[in-house]
Structure 1
Amino acid sequence: MPSSLTGIPTEFDVIVIGGGPAGATTAGLLAKRGHQVLILDRERFPRYHVGESLIPVVMAPMKEMGLTERLEQRGFERKYGGTFVWGNEQAAWDFSFVDGGDYPFAYHTRRADLDSVILDRARELGAYVVEDATVKEPVEEDGRVTGVRFTVRGGKETYEARSAMVVDASGQARVLTRKYSEIDWHDKLRNVAVWTYFDNCERLPGDQYSNILVEGIENGWFWGIPLDKGTISVGFVTPSTVAGESDQGLEQLYRDEIEKTTKLKHMLRDARQSAGFRSARDWSYTNQTVYGKGWAAVGDAAAFVDPLISTGVALATTAGSILSRVIDKVLQYPEIEETALKRYATAYLSFFNEVRSFVERFYDRSLMKEDYHKLAQSVIDPEQKNTPANDFVTLLAGLRGKHLALDITVDDLVPETPASASASASAEN
């Protein structure tokens, strides 16, 4: 029988595989509701991760976690909007979060710092956290996931922990979804990204100072994300076919393509590269199944969309908030598990697919700015209750309060008790 780690129980209400934003948010909010939760992450935080630019919908789960003041105190730079060099005229145009959504800003962050803040908060809320822990396999009983087996770095022993529910928040490692689900790759978004960092960069002028820059060129697009002072993250996203045809490799392709930009090249004219290159391939996918008996997936372990509109952390933490509410009810009323998890999966993937549909269509750079506004309206506001420009910003802000998936409830699935039935009857009378 595997032994336990010092001070760590072997029985939990929920085990969460992965301590990134999705896992830490899910675990933290479940712990906040009084459940015993274990987070297992294969890395030691702070650890590097790309995806530094956030959108305002992230502020809602951060508020639930009690982190909004802490994010401000950490000195993360506020992000009030963005600047596109996009469309058939290749002219620069801006958007501001003030024009749509519930929050007028988000942040640009160093993800190592942000992710540590969220994971530390999950600890404060009562979650057990084991870092340097690699989950080897789920524990199964009669077709149900009932726990996990894991190892810790530097040791040979295999440990086992049991729980009523297991959450796969392992990112693109997809510890459970790789085993229990087929994956659908989105062919229109089969891209390669290569990125690095620069110091001594010039910033965008005036009101654009804190904007993310997204600049399209013939073979793809660049992001420019201001992190602090003169440092920016600069990445190039291009179709896999273009990357595969390059004879000189991704790094030289990156350098060659920067020379074709306008605003970005100007920002980098006196810059110094301050880090090596990193790359990622085939980013956009959806798992066909994101839940099963005793388990559910959240964040990148469930689905991931191209980084064009910076949805990664926002989708992950929003989904973590949703899933925490659902699992809270499932733990109290196990009989609703199948229906409740199905409702979560349907709502979450519906939300994800609307974002993905917009991104796919946004890649058509033959349009004018106003056409992109109308495109957003067709996706989220077909009844045209708001202006196209407002709908565009609302979508880019993350649709907070504008999509049913963000307010999912399973309270109606909870069986009536005699007391609640009596109270309901009295209210009707």
Structure 2
Amino acid sequence: MENFDAIVIGGGPAGSTAATLIARQGKSVVLIEKEYFPRHHIGESLLPASLPILESLGVNEEIQSAGFLKKYGATMVWGTSPDPWSWYFAETNRKYTHSYQVVRSTFDHILLNNSIKSGVDVRQGHQVTKIHHREDYVSGVEIHTPDNKIIDLEAPITIDASGQSAILARNMNLLEWDDFFQNLAVYGYFENAEKLEAPDENNIFIEAHPEGWNWLIPLHNGTVSVGVVVDSNIASKQLHSSDLEEFLCHYISYSSHISNLLGNATLTSPPQAVRDWSYAANSFVGDGYILVGDAACFIDPLFSSGVHLAMNAGLLASAYVNTLFTDSTLALESRVIYTKLYKQQYEHFRELAKLFYSSNHTSDSYFWETRKLTPDAFDLPARTAFINAVAGQPAQGYERVVIEQGEAPSFIIDAIKNVEDTREQRKIKIDTSTEYFPDSIPKLAANVELKNEPILENNEFVRSYVIYKENRMVGYPVSNLIAASLPFINGKASIASISQEISNEYGIDANTILPIIINAFKIMYIDGIIETFIL
């Protein structure tokens, strides 16, 4: 029996991110990886949201030196027009205006080597053969070594980052399948392909056609990744009578633009197939375990969200583990917050993908008709959170494109417009008010609640105040000052009198805190936490 502070199953982006950040906190970490790196993996196109995590891991220079192509956006044939159109990260993200198109064998190897440099005990070529758990408590794993030895590993926490193998989730029967996304992807790599014209030459190119959609991703090694995504049931029947190369080329021919780019290209290796049946575990974290990346949930690959969700989960998991060793009571409360934060991102991409499929009207066919949405096709809390995020606050950049380029269902358009109009009207009212603001009386909206709970801060969970309002999965963290002011918002006290009450109770100068409270209350009004001001 070997004992560690943490066991990580899987050396992909989720596992290596979690392992590195935990080891840097002085913890003993063993990472079990069944393959030997570098190894092939699909999922080459990254999002800018991953760049801050790469910075925190300290691998920016290595990523830049690897020569990966900088990806500035996406080019698509999707929506209402048969012609290609492009959008760019710079439209919604001023700080991170690009991401990368990576060769995953190199990218993942950089991250795993970084774990080794950080003190992680990385064991490649080792297979997890058993999860040690009694009822719902996980105490460790059994591994099979390359020289055919069986070793038991024990730790207070086991992190499952085993990708779609989802070793722990399958072992504990945690997976729940998503009926909406049941596609199949076949992909391969071509050389001597043509490029899109500047400035789109490094963009991912996505082209919808009657039977599904295809992707083309340029890579720095001179090849392009090309995949076709089609209905799983239909594809499974067709693959019984054709090989993968014939299947891939057949569906490439449906997309005229990608076909033109591949006119003189040749396939460099046999194609591979991946079944895209999206899923999520019904428990992301429990006694002795935490799930990250595809081991926790998998969503349709349309938005290249896989690596970002994996690395973000690794970051969140490391914060949970660090908290576990410093404050076990707070860590227990942090389980709910880990799940909320992770599910918020997963469900955002899930609802966005559903909306994107429903918004495509470049062709009418079985594939697209069966993926159109009705109001009851959305999970209500996730739909509400998604609408609030899209309404003037695009989180990833794709959201506004769906609305502008596609034909989104009217009930979604109307809901987004309603939120946007309300926010804009509230902002105008605040900006144009000529009243003396300290004399105004704030009134809280219905079902607003103040909680004291864990929030993520500096790679650990700490206790803080958070404001929740109806139909919002994740709350608004607020300072102690604003938290202290909330009980005084009773529809009778003015902002000036609230400031004076806090001054009297905490010994803080009222003139100092008054402008802070005014600015915070204005933001809370625009966001709908404060229903109105009585002037």
One-letter amino acid matched to 1:33:
Q
Alignment identity in percent? 31
Residue by residue, what CA displacement relative to the aligned partner does 1:404-426 show, whole Å, maximum 9, x if unpaired? 99879630189xxxxxxxxxxxx
Q: Tell me the secondary structure at the aligned position of residue 213 of structure 1.
A: strand
* Alignment partner of 1:345 out of 339, 344, 349: 339
Residue by residue, what CA displacement relative to the aligned partner does 1:225-266 show, whole Å, maximum 9, x if unpaired? 001253100000111122034243543232122222122111
**1:154 maps onto 2:162 in alignment:** no
Please report how far the alpha carbon of residue 89 of structure 1 lies from its aligned counterpart in structure 2 after TM superposition: 2.3
Match of 1:282 in 2: 276
One-letter amino acid matched to 1:343:
I
The CA distance in 1 between the partners of 2:52 and 2:313, in whole Å, is 11
The CA distance in 1 between the partners of 2:456 and 2:330, in whole Å, is 20
One-letter amino acid matched to 1:146:
S
1:177-256 counterparts in 2 under 5 A?
A: 177-228=169-220, 230-246=222-238, 247-256=241-250
Runs of 4+ in 1 over 6 A off after TM superposition: 386-390, 404-409
Q: Tell me the secondary structure at the aligned position of residue 318 of structure 1.
A: helix
**1:412 maps onto 2:405 in alignment:** no
CA separation of 1:201/1:366 partners in 2, compared to 1, >3 Å: closer, same or farther?
A: closer
CA contact (8 A) 1:287 1:303 kept: yes
* Alignment partner of 2:123 out of 130, 136, 140: 130
Q: Tell me the secondary structure at the aligned position of residue 359 of structure 1.
A: helix
Match of 1:30 in 2: 22
CA contact (8 A) 1:180 1:289 kept: no
One-letter amino acid matched to 2:463:
D
Match of 2:314 in 1: 320
CA contact (8 A) 1:377 1:388 kept: no
The CA distance in 1 between the partners of 2:273 and 2:193, in whole Å, is 22
Residue by residue, what CA displacement relative to the aligned partner does 1:195-229 show, whole Å, maximum 9, x if unpaired? 00100111001101110100111111111000125
**1:379 maps onto 2:387 in alignment:** yes
The CA distance in 2 between the partners of 1:388 and 1:65, in whole Å, is 22
CA separation of 1:365/1:16 partners in 2, compared to 1, >3 Å: closer, same or farther?
A: same
Please report how far the alpha carbon of residue 314 of structure 1 lies from its aligned counterpart in structure 2 after TM superposition: 0.8
Please report how far the alpha carbon of residue 14 of structure 1 lies from its aligned counterpart in structure 2 after TM superposition: 0.7
More moved, 214-223 vs 331-340: 331-340
**1:67 maps onto 2:59 in alignment:** yes
* Alignment partner of 1:355 out of 349, 358, 367: 349
Gaps of 5+ in 2: 363-382, 404-453, 466-504, 508-535
**1:89 maps onto 2:106 in alignment:** no
Q: Tell me the secondary structure at the aligned position of residue 16 of structure 1.
A: strand
CA separation of 1:173/1:206 partners in 2, compared to 1, >3 Å: closer, same or farther?
A: same
The CA distance in 2 between the partners of 1:43 and 1:363, in whole Å, is 35
**1:40 maps onto 2:48 in alignment:** no
Please report how far the alpha carbon of residue 12 of structure 1 lies from its aligned counterpart in structure 2 after TM superposition: 1.2
Using the size of structure 1 for normalisation, the TM-score is 0.85
More moved, 334-343 vs 20-29: 334-343
Q: Tell me the secondary structure at the aligned position of residue 194 of structure 1.
A: strand
CA contact (8 A) 1:78 1:107 kept: yes
CA RMSD in angstroms comes to: 2.8
The CA distance in 1 between the partners of 2:180 and 2:59, in whole Å, is 36
Match of 1:176 in 2: 168
CA contact (8 A) 2:299 2:306 kept: yes
Using the size of structure 2 for normalisation, the TM-score is 0.69
Residue by residue, what CA displacement relative to the aligned partner does 1:291-333 show, whole Å, maximum 9, x if unpaired? 2111000000000111101011111001111111121011112
Q: Tell me the secondary structure at the aligned position of residue 263 of structure 1.
A: helix
The CA distance in 2 between the partners of 1:110 and 1:13, in whole Å, is 32
More moved, 201-210 vs 277-286: 277-286
Match of 2:487 in 1: none
The CA distance in 2 between the partners of 1:333 and 1:377, in whole Å, is 31
Greater RCO structure (CA 8 Å; 6+ sep): 1
Q: Tell me the secondary structure at the aligned position of residue 199 of structure 2.
A: helix
The CA distance in 1 between the partners of 2:196 and 2:261, in whole Å, is 7
* Alignment partner of 1:392 out of 389, 395, 400: 400
CA contact (8 A) 2:245 2:270 kept: no
More moved, 376-385 vs 277-286: 376-385
Q: Tell me the secondary structure at the aligned position of residue 363 of structure 1.
A: helix
CA contact (8 A) 1:150 1:158 kept: yes
The CA distance in 2 between the partners of 1:387 and 1:244, in whole Å, is 35
One-letter amino acid matched to 2:100:
Y
CA separation of 1:265/1:383 partners in 2, compared to 1, >3 Å: closer, same or farther?
A: closer
* Alignment partner of 2:44 out of 22, 29, 52: 52
The CA distance in 2 between the partners of 1:227 and 1:405, in whole Å, is 38
Q: Tell me the secondary structure at the aligned position of residue 72 of structure 1.
A: helix
**1:139 maps onto 2:139 in alignment:** no
**1:116 maps onto 2:124 in alignment:** no
The CA distance in 2 between the partners of 1:286 and 1:201, in whole Å, is 37
The CA distance in 2 between the partners of 1:136 and 1:152, in whole Å, is 10
Q: Tell me the secondary structure at the aligned position of residue 410 of structure 1.
A: strand
CA contact (8 A) 2:319 2:456 kept: no
Q: Tell me the secondary structure at the aligned position of residue 264 of structure 1.
A: helix
One-letter amino acid matched to 2:158:
V
Structure showing greater radius of gyration is 2
Please report how far the alpha carbon of residue 383 of structure 1 lies from its aligned counterpart in structure 2 after TM superposition: 4.4
Please report how far the alpha carbon of residue 37 of structure 1 lies from its aligned counterpart in structure 2 after TM superposition: 0.8
Residue by residue, what CA displacement relative to the aligned partner does 1:86-131 show, whole Å, maximum 9, x if unpaired? 1232221101011113411111111010000000001111111011
Q: Tell me the secondary structure at the aligned position of residue 284 of structure 1.
A: strand
